[in-house]
Amino acid sequence: MFSKGEDAKTSFLEQTKAAREERALEKKKEQSAVLLQAHIRGWLARIKFTNYILNDFDVIVPDVPEDKVNLTSFTPSIEIYQKVRLFLLIWKKERDKERFAKLCRYMIASLDSNSPKYSYVGIALNKNHVIHWISHMNDILWKCCDYLDDLKPEYASDMKFVLLYLHMLVSFTSTSTWVILKNKNIEQFKPGMSKFCANFMGQLFHRGFYLTLKGLLIKGLSRLRIVFKAASLSAIITLALRPLIAADFSDKFMTMFLIQILSVPGIIQHLQTVTPDSITVLVTNKIFLRSIELLSNQQAMRIVFNTLEGNYALCLLANITQLGYIERDTTLKEICFPSFTVVVTGLLESCQHYVVVKQSNLTHWHPVLGWFAQPMDSALHAAIPHVKMQLHLLWNSEIVNILLGKFLSSLVKNLEAPHAPGGSSGHSNHFSGTNFLRRALDSRVNKTNTQKSYRSLGSPEVHRVVLMCSLYHTALHTLTQLKLDILTGLCYRDRFLYDLWLFLCSLGPNCGLKTFLDHLAVNTKCTAPEFQMLQLFSDCMTHYVTILDDMELYEQQNPFKLSDFVILSNFLNIFLYKIVIGSLIDLKSIQSNQLFQSLHTLLIVLYKRDCRRRYTPLGHWLIKEIKVSSFMVDLEKGRRAQQILLQTMPHIIPHEDRVRLFRKYIINEKTVLGLTESACASPQSTLITVHRSRIVEDGYRQLALILPQNLKGVIRVRFINEQGLDEAGIDQDGVFKEFLEESIKKVFDPGLNLFKITSEERLYPSPTSYLQENHLQLFEFVGRMLGKAVYEGIVVDVPFASFFLSQVLGQTAQALYSCVDELPSLDADLYRSLNYIKHYEGDVSELDLSFTADEDCLGKLVTHELIPGGKAVSVTNDNKINYIHLMAHFRMHVQIKDQTAAFIRGFRSIISPEWLSLFSTPELQRLISGDNVPLDLKDLRKHTQYYGGFHDSHRVVNWLWDILDKDFSDEEKGMFLKFVTSCSKPPLLGFAHLEPPFSIRCVEVGDDEDTGDTIGSVIRGFFTIRKKDPQNRLPTSSTCFNLLKLPNYQKKSTLREKLRYAVSCNTGFELS
């Protein structure tokens, strides 16, 4: 019973709830309908109102034709003003752009009326409307800017609107075009009207007017072909200057002008090209001077740079530089130091903060700055060529002269040229014009120089030079992609570089060596401006010396004399040694130390030039204070300073000591590899079997594939003679030497076409070696064999062209390597031809050359293009230097690139590149072929072994040494040495290092009957017992054992005659 009552109650509650919800829903519907109806009525009313306003606007605002009809036919301006105020209330940007343009055309046209009734500015004369009219004009002018932000001036349809709105802004921000002010009754209101214009300009400025102008300029100028004509560009500059003028060039307005206008890429260059009158306006308003004065304030500089950051700060620098160039004869001369110098240096340093050395995921490539920590927008990419042209003005000869050149010249005007102590000319064959009198004069001058006064680093004139040099040093390390252009601009403009050299020499004895060392002891980070001056000079000199050809360096000597290079290299050598040995800089980070790297690069350039053709006195590169024994002990102890000196300046150690160190490295490696004899074990050896008729083929087949470690060990050779029988001598060291000599003799024979010879009979890889099967593998094998010879201390008479040895040493991979310098070692005729082109005074295009190189390949002429499309590119005065270097590079590198790489790969598999770095190119040749010194007979005799009864006091032996000493010329002595050892030059470090040792054996029979020493032959030889006088027999030799087989002659004259004949007739190890 209770359940039925509860169900009824629940049902009643649910029905009540549903009814309540239904009533609420109906009420909501009614409310929504009312709101919707109200909204629609409002919308319809607004539409009606809007249409009413627009219709009134369309009717009352006249269309202005281009010929501008009589303005009195227009509706009075006050009526139009009232309708326009309503129009602006319902203005929509996209819908009303044509109406707004129509309004602007009317307002501009109305300015030509002198009647307040028809001129739009006449409204301001009505005190009832003036306040609202000012606000009204501010609104209209800002809407012009709003439209300019969206327009694209590259489109003709948009450009007409750009011109219209610029015209509008120009017209209403100055009273100069208001005809109404010419009315005598109204002229009195001109000051007040001008204040209105200033108000308009101020309002625009505070709302971001400069941003609008900057955007417009970038859209129109930052492209391959600019779209602005003179009128539009002039209008923009006029508008940009008006806020400045109105604010009397206040710091705030000047800062915004620099940030928004003068940072537009290439704007000054475009102004100078398109509208020179605008440049005149900038000059008249002293924009350059005011910009420098503002940026001289460090706080202002920080604000400007932090706003612009790297990319557009660079553009600001470029524009300021061009403004300075434009005013180079006036303002720049007045403010070049210190203001201009400090500002430019500051901007460069600020940009440098974003420059990074290496590529990473966070860097971007910049065409001027290199790897950069900021991305570049597309507009800036298009404008970079213009920015580059502007930056080039910074090292233009006129600017350099104004900033530093003329001042520097005045400082060194009365200075004498520096002289090398004792004169360098007496030590070189290349100074044919020097004589005893010259050296005497030099000596007298040197005595005078020791008494003259020197400039202090703290003096005002030195400070000025230092700051100017710091500017260009900063430019070199900031504008990394323009480095060569900067160096070229500084090096080849008048006498700037030579004057800077004379200035450095005036800082103290030996180029101010002690002055700089003392300064470095205080400024260990090398960041002082004085060191930046030193770096700038070093970088410029490196560039200068690298480009100089031999005629310019050794013969013309203008302006730099060879004595200058002697003094400079001596300063660099000692200075770098002192800062390393004295740890004046952080040795752990020496590779990244700009001062060390800059000076070291120049030192090595000068050293390599001297190695190729000497201009310094003997012993010039050695550091006299180094005690070699102590140096080597410190090196073994792992002292950092000695390690760095050996790696970077090995030439300061005598050559003989470096060779000993080289041999020590090899001995140590053999010990580590277990290749030396010991009491515990003998090293494993590799046995090869070689047929006499197939020495190269069998050697290549068996040795080419074995590991370099095994090739460094003992190689035992079993020869198979022509009859197919084994020869004796498998375990004798001389057999391997014979195999090595015979192999090298054949592979370097030009007839095999692996190598060719120059006109000076020097070897280099043949460009046509590909005709030989497996030629690259053979080159690698040859490199291994030569490496093995050097490794074992076996000298072979193989003279290489110096350019090829430079590649073996890895010198050609260096940035400052010049192919042209070493071209004479390959082809002297080609070098002379290219030099003729370089110094050709007429038009090189008359020679009818193109960027191609011809090669004679088996009688067929093959043409190679030096650059893509080279056949169609003519050689001109502008590109002839590039052609010369490309031609030299092609001949010495491109043609033999693969062959050289294979040879080097084989050679370095035996000889470590680190060991090779101890030597220069000529020294490597000496390491391969022996020393370039006369034969030391005493040393040879001291290390000679005797067999067959001969001994050091034997009559025939005494005759032999006496004949060699007194009767043989130096050339004949070399022929004798080649006759017995296969090499005409003595081994480095003397005959104590000749392997096997030189020996002399007494023989009784010919080589074909010789079976070696017997007891009888030894006794007869020892007691000079003869069977018969062997006057019909000649001395013979076995070069593989360094053995001279000498008959027991009875007369000294017979020995002299036979020996001279034997050494002159025996070709030995010849290459042709």
List of residues 6+ apart from 338 with CB closer than 8 A: 464, 467
The owner of tokens 């740079």 is 305
* Cα–Cα distance, 414 to 379 (Å, whole number): 52
Distance of CA 141 to the CA centre of its chain: 52
Alpha helix ranges (H) inside 649-691: 655-673
Residue pair 479/391 in contact (Cβ under 8 Å)? The answer is: yes
Q: Which two tokens stand for residue 514?
A: 């002690």
| Tokens representing residue 493 in the block | 């403009």
Give the residue ranges of DSSP H helices in 813-879: 819-822, 828-838
- Nearest Cα to Cα of residue 996 among 781, 652, 738: 738
Give the helix ranges, DSSP H, for 722-850.
Answer: 733-747, 775-792, 802-809, 819-822, 828-838
Give dist(CA 959, CA 974) in Å, integer. Answer: 18
Cα–Cα distance measured from residue 104 to residue 1070, given in angstroms and rounded to the nearest whole number: 96
CB 749 within 8 A of CB 782: no
Among 526, 540, 1040, 1065, the one annotated catalytic: 1040
Q: What is the DSSP string of 400-417?
A: HIIIIIHHHHHHHTTPPP
Find, among 550, 590, 545, the residue nearest to 568 by Cα: 545
Residue type (1 letter), 715: I
The owner of tokens 């109650």 is 9
Report d(CA 602, CA 541) in Å as an integer: 7
Cis peptide before 559 (omega within 30 of 0): yes
Query: Which sign does the torsion angle of CA 946, 948, 952, 957 carry?
Result: negative
Q: Please state, in angstroms and rounded to a whole number, the distance separating the CA atoms of residues 676 and 658.
A: 22
Query: How does DSSP classify residue 729?
Result: -
Q: How far apart are the C-alpha atoms of 458 and 744, rounded to whole Å?
A: 63
Q: Classify residue 510 as left (phi > 0), alpha (psi -120 to 50) or beta.
A: left
Which two structure tokens, joined as six digits, stand for 64?
Answer: 């202005």
Please name the residue that has the structure tokens 């503002």: 294
Residue with tokens 């439209």: 147
| CA-wise closest residue to 740 among 485, 386, 995, 488 | 995
Which amino acid makes up residue 417? A
> Facing residues of 1043 across strands?
999, 1038
Nearest of 172, 62, 82 to residue 132 by alpha carbon? 82
Q: Give dist(CA 976, CA 1036) in Å, integer.
A: 11
Q: Which DSSP category does 874 fall into?
A: B
Name the amino acid, one letter, at 4: K
User: How far apart, in whole angstroms, are the C-alpha atoms of residue 334 and residue 321?
Assistant: 15
The whole-angstrom distance between residue 1026's C-alpha and the CA centroid of its chain comes to 75
Encoded tokens for 18: 């549903």
Q: Catalytic annotation on 983?
A: no
> How is residue 308 written in tokens?
């612009």
Q: Rounded to an integer, what distance in angstroms lies between the CA atom of residue 574 and that of residue 577?
A: 5
Query: Which residues does the annotation mark as catalytic?
Result: 1040
